[in-house]
Chain A
Amino acid sequence: MERTDTPALLVLEDGRFFRGSSFGATGETFGEAVFSTGMTGYQETLTDPSYRRQIVVATAPQIGNTGWNDEDDESRRIWVAGYVVRDASRVRSNWRSNRSLDEELRAQGVVGICELDTRALTRHLRERGSMRAAISTTELDPDVLVQRVLEQPRMSGANLVADVTLTAPVVIPAQGTRTHKVAAIDLGIKEMTPELMARRGIEVHVLPATATLDDITALGVDGVFFSNGPGDPGTADEAVSLLTGVLDAGLPYFGICFGNQIFGRALGFGTYKLKYGHRGINQPVQDRRTGKVEITAQNHGFAVDAPLEHDTPTRWGAARVSHVCLNDDVVEGLELTDADGTVLGFSVQYHPEAAAGPHDSAYLFDRFIEVMDAHRTTGENA
């Protein structure tokens, strides 16, 4: 890539601004400024639908070194509203690379900015919280641009599921012998999720967020999965009622990220916005039952408000916090069991499918299978 000398401007809603150079597409973009601390995996991050309408700041200072390949996308497109890096690589070096990051950003019209103090920006977001922002190569007056930022909607109250979900169902066949069938509700699903299920013999029916309980039961699935996704879980009433129906139907449930928040709401808990969220691939989460720590990939700005100290009774059974983030005690997982202690459903706030991120939590997909198997057995017994 030829380094452009096109100036670019990033402005935050509180008026702080950073000048830099254009990177990727030129133009103007708006979104919620958030930072991600992963040192690898920008391709997966950029194509993660959960980043819809967010301007992502990479804290890792040199980005683009391995270019862009045709294999690592987590969805059909780049979702971030804008990309902020300190130093963008002008060459790419990797045997799997097909083009440069800059080329891909331009091709997809994603506005970026580079050569600014990303650490100062990150510290600002840490201290003041995630906030609305803009990147522009056309408006270089911060006073003007900040006015436009203030006209943008906030992330709190945003319902973005419709933006990212599929319009028609897709079936991901099981790899090898099919042992289970699962309905996966696409609230912004990443491709690695059905992939990891398929590797375990699960046939995954990825359904649009508009799917109904009837659509699910008609498939005769062994379990239901709700994916990650963007926006404020407080607005996702349709998903909550769908999940309530699933639980009433006695179908085993597994949820990731947004799917954890929906589960929380279905169980009667509230959700709230974190000051600056958890975004990175180094977050320590403890399984409260075993005491074991897993290093997890995370990308969430909202969290479930559930008590750590005690179980909470629900109409299906006892709900409890199964995982916590060791950095700040944020709820990272929920579990619902019936009176016998049989797990009816569980979910995690973090990303066991990783991509990008460590594979420590992949066992949760095995646990989903165990839960489905246990249900099958009890179902047969019943």
Chain B
Amino acid sequence: MPKRTDISSILVIGSGPIVIGQASEFDYSGTQACRVLREEGYRVVLVNSNPATIMTDPEFADATYVEPITPEMVEKVIAAERPDAILPTLGGQTALNTAVALHESGVLERYGVEMIGANFDAIQRGEDREKFKAIVDGLVIPGVNPESARSVLTHSLEEVMAAADQLGYPLVLRPSFTMGGVGSGFAHDEHELREMAAIGLAASPVNEILVEESILGWKEYELEVMRDKADNVVIVCSIENLDPMGVHTGDSITVAPAMTLTDREYQAMRDVAIAIIREVGVDTGGCNIQFAINPDNGRMIVIEMNPRVSRSSALASKATGFPIAKIAAKVAVGYTLDEIPNDITAETPASFEPALDYVVVKVPRFAFEKFPTADSTLTTHMKSVGEAMAIGRNFAEALNKALRSLEDPKAPFDFATPITDDVDTLLERASRPHDGRLQVVMAALRAGATAEQVHEATRIDPWFVDQVVQILEVARRVEQADALTPALLHAAKRIGLSDPQIASLRHTSADVVRGVRWALGIRPVFKTVDTCAAEFAARTPYHYSSYDEETEVEPRIKPAVLILGSGPNRIGQGIEFDYSCVHAALTLREAGYETVMVNCNPETVSTDYDTSDRLYFEPLTLEDVLEVYHAEAAAGPVAGVIVQLGGQTPLKLAQALKDNGVPIVGTSPEAINLAEERGAFGDVLAAAGLPAPRYGMAQSARQAIEIANRIGYPVLVRPSYVLGGRGMEIVYDDDALTGYIERATFITPQQPVLVDRFLDDAIEIDVDALYDGTELYLGGVMEHIEEAGIHSGDSACTLPPITLGADAVERIRASTEAIAAGVGVRGLINIQYALQGDTLFVLEANPRASRTVPFVSKATGVQLAKACARVMLGSSIAELRASGMLRPEGDGATVVEASPIAVKEAVMPFNRFRTSDGENVDSLLGPEMKSTGEVMGLDATFGTAFAKSQTGSYGGLPSGGTAFVSIANRDKRHAIFPVKRLADLGFRIVATAGTAQVLRRNGVDVTVLRKAHQGDGPDGTPSVVTAIMNGEIDLIFNTPQGASADGQPRRDGWSIRSAAILRDIPSITTVQGLSAAVQGIESANAGEVGVRSLQSWNAAVDAELAAGSDQAAAR
């Protein structure tokens, strides 16, 4: 059956900002879908508020709306574009929920938009737990008894408690229609149940929780299922969780294919999965079904299904080479699976089930170090921020590769550090699922625990435990052997041990191990992911390394460029860097190079086999990258390796790669070092006459206090080697500084602490610029909305800058050029400035593509990352101007009247974390980055653009109601005006006593609320926290009092912000943020907020620029 011709235009909804539970995998799915639909000749309309995505690049859709994904805004897009169909199954839960809302409100019907991929009823049957349970329990399959866990659907606390009486403890709570398991978890007693039920009922948009029997500790599996309209169904992939039931699959170590099922059990599961997709009625497309199996008797329980492409689909696509989203898009427009070719073999159709001849392991990456008070226990509520995947020819090899892919020094197994705890203690620790549990398992085994004991403590399947035991056995042989024989070295590599692990076991260096290994010819070969276990020849060079006999890397003639990706997503290094890597691949392929991507993040577009000419799914460590380079250098000429685009991960390999003879293109490793090393960078600034905040380096508290008193408080303190702002704090006095140093156990004489003068009341400015050695192209100048001191990744910012004059921009340009030239940049550089009064301070410079590159590219319509890749391989900015890649005249800082105001807002994960006492973690922003993602708001005026950014990031600003105001003393002067304006806009203002007094004196009518720590009054006057929890507050403005000596922010502010998170109320913590919010509310209230596509904005900008150059030519 051919594709549908009765529809010509399709609306695709993306998943919005990266949040925990919904990350870049949906950019991968959405990008594939957009690509396919356009190839098929459909007009693609896209809505996604996330500027860091590839899918929102203007060339991936005909009309790209970077607008908030809310039913209201999507309706406006529908009204403007009048699509024939909407494809809601590729943008995660966000897209699905939005489409459901548009259906329920009648918008789709009104505009004649057909839902394709999954219809409304199927979505309901799949997502509504009661309906789904009824479907599962009603299935009739010969030889199988499909059942779901015994459960009760509840809508109130009373119903929850009644369900507990019926089912007994422990219980699982699953609120309906929440994404990534928000509000779900285990309750072991009545106390826990009451607490969790309150949260869950609030989190569910329909106030509904499923209470069910516990299947904790059972084996957990997932099947990825695909169906077409002719009712052909295939299982794309089976996935087994190493972590038994109880840990969210996103937080579990997962393995593909399933390792511990016989064919009978697997086929029973397959039968159930197929029956479910048919019965639920997902007519076309992919879905994910989760199962639990009782390890003692094989009883199988269906846990849930996602009637859409999911995180696991992305993993399964990368694990098998079967591109689920792409195929889902094709079947959604009417193709049947047998009509779609398998890209990888080219000759066989997509109507088959991939066969793997390797093992894939995915490990989650957590960010608990960013939220020190958060409980690291893993539950059914997802907490990881990213993941790494590795492929090996056995589980142990893949596991070891995956662990080193995490780029966390604690992740790879440690065989060397002495173990001080006894077996019982270690087993007790291993029994609690948490990040690093597998490392505790290894420690327990090293301490003498048996495999049986580990299984008993963790319920991890004995087969997996034995794999870990085998790794330990090989490590011990390596450690104890008189000499490291070739056979033993080969055995160590075959089980996945890295050179550094072997080195630590042999008390030597990784360089020595590598040298020995190479001298002995013990090197990995590269196998191919081919969907068919070598049954057919593969056309796509998608490789992974293994210690086997035969390599499959084909020779080539064209020069290759290796692009090193950014590894697992984490806070501070996410999808933005993948964006730049993908752009480099696309442009360099056009420029005639053979592009070779190296990355280990399954969620990304860069690890799509379609993105580059060759893909190596490998860890980004020196050892692994050198082996890829070696293989490619043997295959043909290598023009160079790009390390500048994937963030800190590849950048820190630069010098070592160069030392090993690898040609690094673009900014040299020496220049990178120059920018990162403070003293050297200080010399560059001094030579250019540029001021930086005064600073000093301290090895003790006393030294730090001396420095602070010399340069003046407040000061910014941080470890000297820092990733993503880790361990940074702003302190205002000696006590707080002493407290910081005492808590900062990482400080040693080798790792001193940096004490910088903190610039109060300064405007922070971020610049992305391109430099080719002679010319500077200022990509964009971003003005932060929050003042300096908040990590740039967490700060909202605007482009063009709204308060900077032309002279300030010129000074920024001159300074940027001086730094780029002084450092020796060839490519992109990101510089942060602070403008305090009239002085422009240089805060830091990063000679690489930054987090803001995609934002700047979308705001200005210029593809900076592509231009960077070309500059790195020798093109000049003049040439790129001539070719149209860069603006012919001026640059990203040139004022263009037709260009939009673009506002970037960060999205925070605070609602994901709880302390072990069940309390929220603090939502206070500071110099350490905490956001997981970002959105962009675009409009002609700042106020509207800001309002859109707020809507896109957390649901939006209120148009009226009650605003609670509590302002720190130092902010009171500046806050009066915006609070007064809020009152003028019709907001009722409530405040704590001190703030109220100040506001009253300035003519604002204020009601006083009791402070949080005072609690509710005897007369029933509520405290601020009670008022928030009662839903009486619509907007919170609360500036922090600064950290106290114990590092804990003042308790009141904390409880207010926690309550705000619980109730999902906007909570603004800076005066600048409030001013912006007031403008946003004004604009939103003033009239209709419109939508406009990127293509339309860009056309207007191009027209103005063309007119400008015509005028110039005429003159």
Contacts and interface: CB of A to CB of B under 8 A. Distances in A.
Interface string B253-265: 0000111111110
Given A86-B394, A91-B466, A119-B534, A39 B257 contact: yes
B352 interface: yes
Interface string B386-408: 00000001110000000000000
Contacts of A295: 234-235, 351-353
Contacts of A117: 548-550
A44 B263 contact: yes
B295 interface: yes
B246 interface: no
Interface string B841-856: 0000000000000000
A72 B352 contact: no
B86 to A, nearest CB: 28
A354 B355 CA distance: 16
B259 A61 contact: no
Interface string A93-114: 1111000000000000000000
Interface stretch (B162-170, B356-364, B720-728, B1022-1030): B356-364
Contacts of A362: 142
Contacts of B359: 61-62
Interface in A42-93: 43-44, 59-62, 65-66, 69, 71-72, 86-87, 89-93
A126 B552 CA distance: 14
Nearest to A291: B230
Contacts of A293: 230, 232, 336-338, 351
Contact of A120 (B260, B353, B549): B549
A276 to B, nearest CB: 8
Nearest to B259: A65
Given A91-B463, A282-B355, A291-B230, A123 B266 contact: no
Contacts of B347: 327-328
A40 B266 contact: yes
A93 B357 contact: no
- Label chain A's interface by main secondary structure: loop
Given A91-B466, A93-B463, A327-B352, A59 B267 contact: no
Interface string B327-364: 00000000011100000000111011111111100000
A332 to B, nearest CB: 13
A181 B358 CA distance: 45
Contacts of A37: 355, 357, 532-533, 535
A267 to B, nearest CB: 26
Given A41-B263, A199-B142, A326 B349 contact: yes
A44 B271 CA distance: 18
B353 A282 contact: yes
A286 interface: yes
Contacts of A60: 257, 355-357, 533
B394 to A, nearest CB: 5
B357 A122 contact: yes
Contacts of A61: 357-359, 393-394
Contacts of B267: 40, 354, 356-359
Contact of B394 (A43, A66, A87, A358): A87
B534 A123 contact: yes
B1051 to A, nearest CB: 50
Contact of B338 (A18, A92, A284): A284
A90 B39 CA distance: 50
Q: Which of A40, A41, A286 has the most CB of B within 10 A?
A: A40
A223 interface: no
Q: Which of B264, B393, B549 has the most CB of A within 10 A?
A: B264
Interface in A325-382: 326-328, 354-359, 362
B594 interface: no
Contact of A119 (B349, B351, B357, B461): B357
B295 A95 contact: yes
A116 interface: yes
A22 to B, nearest CB: 16
B762 to A, nearest CB: 58
Contact of A355 (B142, B263, B533): B263
Contacts of B263: 38, 40-41, 43-44, 72, 281, 355-357
A86 B232 contact: no
- Label chain B's interface by main secondary structure: loop
B262 A96 contact: yes
Contacts of A66: 260-262
A38 B394 CA distance: 16
A283 interface: yes
Q: Which of B232, B534, B548 has the most CB of A within 10 A?
A: B534
B231 interface: yes
Contact of A284 (B261, B349, B461, B462): B349
A153 to B, nearest CB: 26
A375 B536 CA distance: 42
A280 interface: yes
Given A44-B263, A61-B394, A358 B270 contact: yes
Nearest to B219: A93
Contact of A43 (B142, B262, B270): B262
B298 interface: yes
A205 B532 CA distance: 38
B420 interface: no
Given A37-B533, A284-B338, A359-B267, A65 B260 contact: yes
B27 to A, nearest CB: 30
A326 B537 CA distance: 16
A61 B544 CA distance: 15
B590 interface: no
Given A116-B549, A126-B534, A39 B355 contact: yes
A283 B271 CA distance: 17
A328 B549 CA distance: 29
A122 B550 CA distance: 11
A59 B351 CA distance: 20
A165 interface: no
A354 B267 CA distance: 9
Nearest to A122: B534
A289 interface: no
Interface string B354-385: 11111100000000000000000000000000
A118 interface: yes
Nearest to B548: A117
Nearest to A45: B263
Interface in A132-159: none
Interface in B470-494: 470
Nearest to B232: A293
B533 A122 contact: yes
Given A65-B463, A291-B230, A59 B534 contact: yes
A310 interface: no
A93 B461 contact: yes
B55 to A, nearest CB: 30
A315 interface: no
A326 B262 contact: no
Contacts of B257: 39, 60
Contact of B535 (A96, A126, A355): A126
Given A86-B393, A89-B463, A358-B270, A95 B297 contact: yes
Q: Which of B231, B238, B532 has the most CB of A within 10 A?
A: B532
Contacts of A71: 264
A119 B348 CA distance: 20
Contacts of B298: 95-96
B450 to A, nearest CB: 12
A359 B143 CA distance: 11
Nearest to B462: A93
A326 B357 CA distance: 22
A35 B271 CA distance: 26
13 contacts: A59-B355, A61-B394, A71-B264, A89-B463, A119-B393, A119-B527, A119-B550, A123-B550, A280-B355, A292-B230, A293-B337, A327-B348, A358-B270
Given A327-B352, A358-B353, 9 more contacts: A89-B463, A90-B470, A91-B451, A92-B463, A95-B298, A280-B355, A293-B336, A357-B267, A359-B270
